[in-house]
Structure 1
Amino acid sequence: MRLAIIVTLAFVSFDSVHVKFVNNNDTHHVNDLVSKNEVIYLFKTRNKTSQLNLDHHRRVRRSVPVDRNRLFLDRKVNYLIDPWFPEKETQTIQSAIQKLSEASCVEFVQLSEKPTDDNIDYVHILPSSNCIGEFGRVGGRQMFNLSLTCLEEPTVMHEMLHTLGMWHEHSRWDRDEYVTVLYDNIIPSKKNYFRKLTQTIDDTLSLPYDYSSIMHYKSFDYSIDPSNLRTIISKNPNISSDSIGKTDKLSDLDKQRLNKLYRCDVKRCLDPTKPLNGEVIGDNFEVGAKISYKCKDDTFTLIGSNSRFCKFDGQWSASTPICVQQFYHFCNFETDFCGWQNNVGWVRNELRNQTEHTGPVTDNTLGTPKGHFIYTRSRRKQKGDIASIETPSFSVPDNVQKSCVSFAYYLWGERIGTLKVYIHLTQSGNKKLIFEKSGNIGPKWLIAKYAISAAGQSLHFTFEVIIGGNLLSDIAIDDFVFMSCTQEEIELGHFEIIDLDS
């Protein structure tokens, strides 16, 4: 039996990675684990046109993402087919992509050459002695490698659905209601790949279990005796175990799943919020459309992103910017830590080093994977460990009646601990807790806003995290701003008033 090796980068640390072995007569895949050195050897010995620099690997999430930022947010997938592919194989790729396009609202745009703009997301389909891809949207150039031995239309659709953000049907968190996994019949080193996902990271989209999905394993996959011993059997008396996973086309539920995932029922966003003392430029609010912002005159400074786009779910990307006349400090962490001090346990994000299934994959400022934030990396830490960081010290003028502080925060993961924020008053030495959140609040950025009376005061802020566990408990912050504010700004911005004397 001839086998083609398929490498899938699945973990950030590279202590191990997934390897898929594909039977030439089989459009479905099984996984194995190889060492880091073996992966490097495979990369060095395969076709040079498909080299992937390990240093530029980015985080992958192996699930139907609860975190919708893993999807192509404007429903558009740019792709480039390498000219090395023979004409027949190129047509196979195009036919598979065309069928996905016809089955959904996702727009596939074929590029004729590599984009010169690094900010353009695109899937680069490359020839290789292996098949390798990245799960979900990762931002910028994204690898999708195919060998001639696995280049069949069902396989291309299966792998492209991974790229679009769909994982295997039999990994659903509720799969035990529909199939039985026979672990004693599974090759021991492969048992890990039959684990079911958790509800924290897996979304079934309220669709029925699909035995006919192009994303389902067949009954004998991973078997220690593939001629006699099954690894998955159906619990449904009306569904034969022989039939599960055996398909060369998208099922009706595959199509429904893709369309629900990308909210094909949504056509536009609501009218965007107009910032106080600013304006919105643009009147096209359809999915994928862009708008921009500007302040009413040069006496105001725009804080936040000056542009946003309408996402597939009907929400605008990033946060509404604000126009301020006087601010003491603003940091979006795009270039550095902005002079923040006494850093214990906080890092600026580099996506290839982040942990799966916790923390953000996009920043709050820009709403893209290339934006920056700071977060507490929980990997290799213990429950109860403290990570803290302090802002610079600020002196509030005597004539400023009200000051406002806001910041974005992100708490997502199964073992999320606690985020606390304190104000330290220099003259009195008082320390006041103004913010505290604990536990998983979902994969989304939220904004905290507070107004204080601190005329003539010198003060600084401390962000403190109590680690919830050694994995799945990353906490992030972004877009900190401390500014003077008016009563109108406090009321319209829904700032919570904090009494520093209490």
Structure 2
Amino acid sequence: MGEEKDLMEANKGKVGMFKPQFNPQIQRSAVYSESQLWTSPVPYVLDKGLDMNAKGVILRAFEHFRLKSCIDFKPRDTEKYYISVKKLNGCSSHVGRAVANGQDLSIGQNCDGISIVEHEFLHALGFYHEQGREDRDDYVTIQFENIKKGYEKNFRKIKNSITQGVPYDYWSVMHYGKKAFSKGNNTITTNDPTFQDVIGQKLEMSPKDVQELNLLYKCNSSVSFMMFCGFVDGTMCQMTKCSQSGLKGWQMESQVAGGPNSDHTGGKPAYFMHASTASGKEGDSAWLETRRVTPSRECHIQCLQFYYYHNGSPSDQLNIWMREFDDEDDMKGHLSLVGQITGTTTSHWQIKHVSLNANKHFQVEFQVWKGAGKSDGGFSIDDINLSQTECPHVTLQINDMEKLLSSSSFGTVIYSPRQYSRRGYAYRVGTALYKTHIGVFMQLLNGTHDDKLEWPCPHRHMAAQMIDQNPEIQLQMSKQRTLTSDPNRMYSDGTYVWDDPRKNGLTHVDENNKMIFVSRKLGWSKFATLEQMKTRDFLKGGSVVLSFSFEDISPLVDGQALPCPKVGPVVVTNPPKDQGEGPCSSRVEITTPPLPESTR
């Protein structure tokens, strides 16, 4: 019970669902026409009166648009038409490009959730509410008798609205919830009762939202997404592989003895890539490489995300390399080690994020290196995503979550190791298990740089996310919450919430059996229920993945954007000696033959 009290005390006014108020005077100004579409990048201005947390969420929403569509955003220069984001009365926006010299979009009190911000920006990009479609009566019933007087027009049908041929979407972030503008009872009833509690979801844009946005703006590709390979139907997505050793090399598999009995996706047919280390000698290696891709954003940072399964020898290595090429005619390139997986074997598919900073043509290469000792397995990888976005700063994967919730004592806490932000603040994140739900939180810790830091800690934006494990990140709808450190915020005892934990923290014995100072927990005691985990792909193979970012957004106090993030040095315990002769395309290339028709 003490753990939950800490979470709640440090987060009064933040826990629980909120009900943002919409301004009917600003909403839904006109039907779509060509003249109301924006030219990307869309200019914007963040008003100084916006809450700092809202500013951080808005920039996160921009990254979602870049990842999933061709829509980009930029701080306004001299453009006549731009979006002026302010803290007005509630959450509201015009529809489409409608007003010159600053088009107001309000992110007011309690509107700083990612789904609400995306909702309002989709209005600005030209979208009405989903339940306003002319065909809505085939999917929902509007209970007009339950709507508050004066708000009935928010439920009108939009004549001549364009749907791009995309089917009705109960999951749309543009759909009202079942009790929107209600006097008490439901105002919307879904004709399919399965979706009654889905409408009004507070996750993020749905795949159909993204599809409709891309159709409206005739997008051919996204701003940030580079590649995905899930080895669907046994195809390798233009990847190549090679091996000049005693290893069998990378092979397409659907299950491996003593290893994964299905791919991470869990579908049928299910394929992944596996490199066995059961044969060969120590030092032998096999390579699997992606096709070449080219950075296109001004910020040269990329995130590689994939899932792996390790069932070989603990001394085997999966090394992740980045090979950059000076130009298209460069055949060898420059190789740098960006990540390594070794040591303890796994019993589940594990998520892995690797930060890259390529500024030229490049490709990613997966090298399985055989270590000492007997191996009956090797390494498997699946669901590779590469994007021009920043990786999460910390990831916690909780395996056998449902079993762990039921068997653990109420309030059991799982902590991450100590982390350091780019500016030197020490912190850790964690999750608390409460039988039917989990809480998530962060804590400041004492660290090696404390005497050189500013206290109370100012304007750090913490984002906690339960990852939707859909294999394609462009189709994910993750659950996330955010908070931002306020140097002026105080507890009832007069101490600062975000002060140096050596001054107002508690003592705690860490994972290394050392005494440390920790702040009280800052987060959400009811972040996600077990029932919510079973929706979408949050609970996959029994595992839940939580990711966290801890970012300095102080440049937004007076500015409109953040500097490009930087990738820190890679720390590798056992760097391999064999760096290969060049990419597989310049060596003896081995391609994977098509699978027999009967196994597809």
TM-score by length of 1: 0.38
What is the TM-score when the length of structure 2 is the normalising length?
0.32
